[in-house]
Amino acid sequence: MDFYYLPLSAPCQSIRLLAKALGVHLNLKELDLLKGEHMKPEFLKINPQHTIPTLVDNDFVLWESRAILTYLCEKYGKNDALYPKDPKKRAVVNQRLYFDMGTLYLRFSQAFYPVMMEGKELNPDNVLKLEEALEFLEHFLGKTPYAAGDRLTVADFALLASITTIQVTGGRDLSKYPNIQRWYNELKESVVGHQEICVEGATSFRETFSPIPK
């Protein structure tokens, strides 16, 4: 499978982590967004929305990281452990994935992308909104050891990439969220590739753009 990606992108990192966990080989094709490689006609033919991550599995093309995550689990998972078939369990996994996309990572990007990429002042209201999202995750992880229940699921992979970026790129202090801290400490050790994929990627994200004030 060809995988169009950028190392510093959290959505791309979650898929690389999952591929390792599933034992799926990704043929990595790095696209330099800063050089506009995603706007070249060759890539627009593959993904007219010009976003990474984009997966090409033979004649099947898919983008949107969380859709790719669930596709890989369903197509290549040896069982349904990471993406349970039970409707209620799956619904909670999906809820956490949508939370990651539409609340947690969205609020991270709204708070920090303008500072990092456009040199704007930090807007304290946006930081508060991000902190509120972290409180929601803190609450979820106070009820269950993993993001969507008693076992590791694909939702943890998405959230792990986001949280690493929030901490490493955004410089946020997670010590005020003990449940997130506990979960993060466990996953940092147990999810193969976290250091090399997420921490190094998030560090290069931080170093590529303007610093975020504390």
Ligand X SMILES: N[C@@H](CCC(=O)N[C@@H](CS)C(=O)NCC(=O)O)C(=O)O
Smaller CB separation from ligand X, 97 or 144: 97
- CB 189 to ligand X: min, Å: 25
29 lies in the binding site for ligand X (CB under 6 A): no
For residues 133 and 107, the answer to whether their CB atoms sit within 8 Å is yes
DSSP 50: -
* Annotation says 162 is catalytic: no
Per CB under 6 A, the segment of 45-53, 125-133, 163-171, 205-213 that binds ligand X is: 45-53
State which of positions 72-131 bind ligand X (CB under 6 A): 101
Q: How far is CA 97 from the centre of its chain?
A: 9
- 38 near ligand X, rule: CB under 6 A: yes
Helical (H) or strand (E) element with 27: strand 27-30
Q: Which one-letter amino acid corresponds to residue 73?
A: C
* φ/ψ of residue 2, rounded to 5: -85, 140
Nearest to 140 by CA among 159, 125, 154, 162: 159
Which residue in the set 37, 51, 188, 199 belongs to the binding site for ligand X (CB under 6 A)? Answer: 51
The binder of ligand X chosen from 53, 84, 149, 201 (CB under 6 A): 53
Q: Is 213 helix (H, G, I), strand (E, B) or coil?
A: coil
Closest separation between CB of residue 9 and ligand X, Å? 4
Q: 163, 197 in Cβ contact below 8 A?
A: no
Q: Give the pairing of strands 2-5 and 27-30.
A: parallel
Least gap, CB of 142 to ligand X (angstroms): 26
Which region, judged by CB under 6 A, interacts with ligand X, from 48-56, 70-78, 110-118, 168-176?
48-56
Interacting residues with ligand X (CB under 6 A): 9, 11, 33, 38, 50-53, 64-65, 101
